[in-house]
Amino acid sequence: MQEIRIGILGFGTVGAGVVEGFQRNGKLIEQRTGIRVTIARIADLDIESDRGVTIDQSLLTTDAQSVINDPEIDVVVELIGGTTIARDLVLSSLKNRKQVVTANKALLAEHGEEIYRTAQSNGVGIYYEAAVGGGIPVLRSQRAGLIGNRIESIYGILNGTCNYILTRMEHEHLPFDDILADAQRLGYAETPPDLDIDGIDTAHKAVILASMAYGAPVPMGACTIHGIRGLSNQEIVNAEGLDYRIKLLAIIREIDGQVEISVEPTLIPKEHMIASVSDSFNAVFVRGDIVDDTMYYGRGAGSLPTGSAVIGDILEAGSDRLNGSGVPVSVTMMLQKDTLQYLPSEKIIKRYYLRLSLFDQPGSLAQVMKVMGNHQISMASVVQNERFKGGYAPVIMLTHKAREADLKAAIEEIRELEVSGAEPVALRIEDFE
Amino acid sequence: MQEIRIGILGFGTVGAGVVEGFQRNGKLIEQRTGIRVTIARIADLDIESDRGVTIDQSLLTTDAQSVINDPEIDVVVELIGGTTIARDLVLSSLKNRKQVVTANKALLAEHGEEIYRTAQSNGVGIYYEAAVGGGIPVLRSQRAGLIGNRIESIYGILNGTCNYILTRMEHEHLPFDDILADAQRLGYAETPPDLDIDGIDTAHKAVILASMAYGAPVPMGACTIHGIRGLSNQEIVNAEGLDYRIKLLAIIREIDGQVEISVEPTLIPKEHMIASVSDSFNAVFVRGDIVDDTMYYGRGAGSLPTGSAVIGDILEAGSDRLNGSGVPVSVTMMLQKDTLQYLPSEKIIKRYYLRLSLFDQPGSLAQVMKVMGNHQISMASVVQNERFKGGYAPVIMLTHKAREADLKAAIEEIRELEVSGAEPVALRIEDFE
């Protein structure tokens, strides 16, 4: 039996999940792999609170530095979160030639390049499956099973809180704010909820996926981000009537050598697999040039699911250490190039759902259609509904493919038309072509 | 740049896919992994036919033995298929201490134990991602990402031909035989189609999944197999009316230390993710005790998708060879125990869809219900449809959970009732609880 000794930094929700996972299945892991994982140290500022798992108190320390300096520890597991202390500790661990496992998406999205380069120059590895899609082995699939593929596109539902809110809006036809408040009460959404509902968390994960797919560290600034805050229930209902569902979708793809990375509420055809992903589940749809379409689905967060991914990484990191394998693919894949070419958001070509409010008089729609035509935007369908009180009627349009810059210019003009009522709403439609 | 040299045995559809994959993306793979893969030899009895890929003719040989004896070759890739020559060549390769990659599910299902033990005793690896789910990295997910999980259950749509036929029956409402004939004409089904439609191919894959999940070589005899041959269009239509879809489903699960492995046409609730898997796609739904529900979806067959999985394995096998990693988890996981305890099929507890044909007279249904009650089978719903000509009416029943032995006994008795018309039909219902 071979042994690897790990030190855990941060004994919060995920830390407790990792400990519980090893307590439940440590023997099974040994039988399967021939490797015994020993939790040698756990560092946290709070070593008093009950985490719901029983551990030997002598493993606990408030001194993280003592863990990363311990020559007996092979693998450091960073579960502190955030981008300040976590960054220092991860970099120090790598410089101490520890293998490092982390679940910290913000850290990798914001300081990935520095971290990957530090790992490379010290001949060690960093493993971060839990940072994207929680328990779903999606990064591992990309860097192992699909290693022979040029990645054409990735579509991800990567934030469980947003997907939970959207699913409930769809089922209950209640306004965003009501569902958000209830989600906070039930612990499905944090307070403040900004990182989730403004799309930042999804963007962190999108940036990591894009780095792996296209082989260079991707800065957060390369990602166009629109969250779901304030999404009207009307859009959910209208989408449903058109056989679509609205999801907060990360889209990563390469078009003629330029990479698009965007996060926005998107209409998805109901019959598409990814439209069936409901509640707090996550899914990542990956299209490779050899393998064609694949999808990976599961729990994107939570103590045990995230712990499952961390445990998988610990075994890989430990096994690489035992084999003396050197810098792993999880590092080399991110550093193939220094930088990528990005597709400017105004050049992105996509289909749109539009909801306009037009004064119900002869010629209103004709004026709008003329503006659209002037901007080379053609319509796939137009539905004018019964008018509301006050004489305005909602008009729902689905466009054919159009350039974002053209659509923005058209909306500017439509907003200025005298027949225009409430602010126009535009959402992306994705057909997965 | 490190190099691995491979020899391919069998230059058919998948062999050509592997060659094409390396031709397209070999440079990209080098950048990502730092490993150059050189195809050193390709053996096939036919070295004349055009495979649609351009290769150096001097690589071709009709002498497979020369490939596995070549000391310069690190990895042997077996893509011959079948269980006779392929078995000999795989065993000889392992004894020659080659790493072996194979896509051969029949071989592993029927001779897995001998092959895993030969790999182990020679200190080498066998890698077989392509044997289950084609291009989907599902075995790798089980043995890496989910390594910390006790597997509670696996549900798989593992045969693209059957799923294609069932999807078309559902969309077109045409009889099984017509769709099968058309699928054969279009190349979606082989002639003869037996291995696919009788469930044998699905069972081969189920046995490999079960071996990995529960840690011992599983004989084919442990799997209960019912194919889709002769499935009536009526069942498809009735299921649809009840908000179910019928899929050929492999079910693998452990119940109180006993493993159930079965393959049968199964009613699946329409809203479940796996019910959305249509056409020739495959999917595997894996529930772990730590990670909860996960699902893996993609193309289960085809030259390039299967080639994608083989390429992933070649890189792993080569990397293990370069690192001197010894016997990999893909071998050790299969040999944790000598044997498993299996749940006898008559003890399996499941829900049933039943279609009976009863003579439409007062008391017919009462007689049937009495028989059901006598065998401890209770009903979730009963619908009697309009009677046909001749006085018989179809009755559709959905049962609560019942033991298979009880249901069989009840059907025996119902068949003997004077009011019984055409042969009763019973299908499994799976609620994924």
Residue B63 CB neighbour total at 10 angstroms: 11
Count Cβ neighbours within 10 Å for each residue of A151-175 and write b for 16 or more, e otherwise: bbbbbbbbbbbbbbbbbbbbeeeeb
| Mean pLDDT, rounded, of chain A | 96
CA distance A136 to chain B (A): 7
What confidence tier does B433 reach under pLDDT thresholds 50, 70, 90?
Answer: confident
Q: What is the pLDDT of residue A345?
A: 86
Q: B144, A315: Cβ pair inside 8 Å?
A: yes
Q: What is the pLDDT of residue B260?
A: 97
What confidence tier does A386 reach under pLDDT thresholds 50, 70, 90?
Answer: confident
By Cβ distance, the residue of B289, B293, B312 closest to A144 is: B312
| A250 occurs within a structural domain | yes
Instruction: Tally the C-alpha atoms within 13 A of residue A7's C-alpha that lie toward its C-beta.
Output: 26
pLDDT over 80 at A387, yes or no:
no
Residue range A214-236: mean pLDDT, rounded: 97
Q: Verify that A205 and A157 share a domain, yes or no.
A: yes
Q: What is the pLDDT of residue A49?
A: 93
Q: What is the pLDDT of residue B336?
A: 97
pLDDT over 80 at A299, yes or no:
yes
How many Å apart are CA B44 and CA B62, to the nearest integer? 5
Q: What is the pLDDT of residue A269?
A: 97
The verdict on whether B389 is a catalytic residue reads: no
Q: Please state, for a pLDDT cut of 90, what percent of chain A lies above it.
A: 95
Residue A186 CB neighbour total at 10 angstroms: 9
Is any Cβ of chain B less than 8 angstroms from the Cβ of A163?
Answer: no
* pTM score, whole prediction: 0.97
Residue range A104-122: mean pLDDT, rounded: 98
What confidence tier does A319 reach under pLDDT thresholds 50, 70, 90?
Answer: very high
**Is ipTM > 0.85 here?**
yes
Is any Cβ of chain B less than 8 angstroms from the Cβ of A24?
Answer: yes
Q: What is the pLDDT of residue A388?
A: 72
CATH code of the domain covering residue B215: 3.30.360.10
> Which of B84, B338, B300 shows the shortest CA–CA distance to B219?
B338
CATH code of the domain covering residue B401: 3.30.70.260
Q: Verify that B165 and B310 share a domain, yes or no.
A: no
| A82 occurs within a structural domain | yes
Q: Phi and psi (nearest 5°) for A303?
A: -55, -55
Domain span at residue A354 reads: 349-429
Residue indicated by tokens 């509301």: A388
Q: What is the pLDDT of residue B166?
A: 98
Q: What is the pLDDT of residue A323?
A: 93
Is any Cβ of chain B less than 8 angstroms from the Cβ of A332?
Answer: yes
Q: What is the pLDDT of residue B310?
A: 98
Count Cβ neighbours within 10 Å for each residue of B334-350 and write b for 16 or more, e otherwise: bbeeeebebbebeebeb
Is any Cβ of chain A less than 8 angstroms from the Cβ of B171?
Answer: no
By Cβ distance, the residue of B29, B137, B147 closest to A141 is: B137
CATH code of the domain covering residue A11: 3.40.50.720
Could you report the per-residue pLDDT of A329-361, keeping only the tens digit for each?
A: 999 999 999 999 999 988 899 999 999 999 988
| A342 occurs within a structural domain | no
* Number of domains, chain A: 3
Q: Verify that B99 and B11 share a domain, yes or no.
A: yes
Q: Verify that B181 and B279 share a domain, yes or no.
A: yes
How many Å apart are CA B277 and CA A299, to the nearest integer? 19
Q: Please state, for a pLDDT cut of 70, what percent of chain B lies above it.
A: 100
What confidence tier does A168 reach under pLDDT thresholds 50, 70, 90?
Answer: very high
Find chain B residues with C-beta within 8 A of A31's C-beta: 215, 336
Could you report the per-residue pLDDT of B273-324, keeping only the tens digit for each?
A: 999 999 999 999 999 999 999 999 999 999 999 999 999 999 999 999 999 9
Q: Verify that B249 and B310 share a domain, yes or no.
A: no
Interface test with B, best of A308, A333, A432 (most B CBs within 10 A): A308
Q: Verify that B314 and B412 share a domain, yes or no.
A: no
Could you report the per-residue pLDDT of B40-89, keeping only the tens digit for each?
A: 999 999 999 999 999 999 999 999 999 999 999 999 999 999 999 999 99
pLDDT over 90 at B172, yes or no:
yes
| Burial group, residue A192, by CB count within 10 angstroms (0-12, 13-18, 19+) | exposed
Q: Verify that B156 and B291 share a domain, yes or no.
A: yes
Q: What is the pLDDT of residue B345?
A: 86
Find chain A residues with C-beta within 8 A of B292's C-beta: 135, 298-299, 302, 304-305
- How is residue B223 annotated by DSSP? S
Q: Verify that A123 and A216 share a domain, yes or no.
A: no
Find chain B residues with C-beta within 8 A of A273's C-beta: 273, 276-277, 297
What confidence tier does A391 reach under pLDDT thresholds 50, 70, 90?
Answer: confident
pLDDT over 80 at B95, yes or no:
yes
Find chain B residues with C-beta within 8 A of A28's C-beta: 150
pLDDT over 90 at A384, yes or no:
no
Task: Sheet containing B75-78: give its strands across.
Answer: B60-61, B35-43, B2-9, B75-78, B99-102, B126-127
pLDDT over 90 at B244, yes or no:
yes
| B340 occurs within a structural domain | no
| B239 occurs within a structural domain | yes
Residue A349 CB neighbour total at 10 angstroms: 12
Residue of B98, B205, B247, B350 marked catalytic: B205
Q: Verify that B271 and B167 share a domain, yes or no.
A: yes
Q: What is the pLDDT of residue B415?
A: 95
What confidence tier does A390 reach under pLDDT thresholds 50, 70, 90?
Answer: confident
By Cβ distance, the residue of A28, A298, A329 closest to B293 is: A298
What confidence tier does B207 reach under pLDDT thresholds 50, 70, 90?
Answer: very high
| A141 occurs within a structural domain | no
What confidence tier does B8 reach under pLDDT thresholds 50, 70, 90?
Answer: very high
Residue range A245-271: mean pLDDT, rounded: 97
Q: Is the peptide bond before B192 cis (omega within 30 degrees of 0)?
A: yes
Q: Verify that A291 and A313 share a domain, yes or no.
A: no
Q: Verify that B200 and B280 share a domain, yes or no.
A: yes
Domain boundary among B245, B278, B299: B299
Least confident of A165-179, A200-214, A378-392, B400-414: A378-392
Q: Verify that B103 and B149 share a domain, yes or no.
A: no
The DSSP bridge pattern shows strands B99-102 and B2-9 to be unpaired
How many Å apart are CA A312 and CA B143, to the nearest integer? 9
| B27 occurs within a structural domain | yes
What confidence tier does B384 reach under pLDDT thresholds 50, 70, 90?
Answer: confident
Q: What is the pLDDT of residue B387?
A: 74
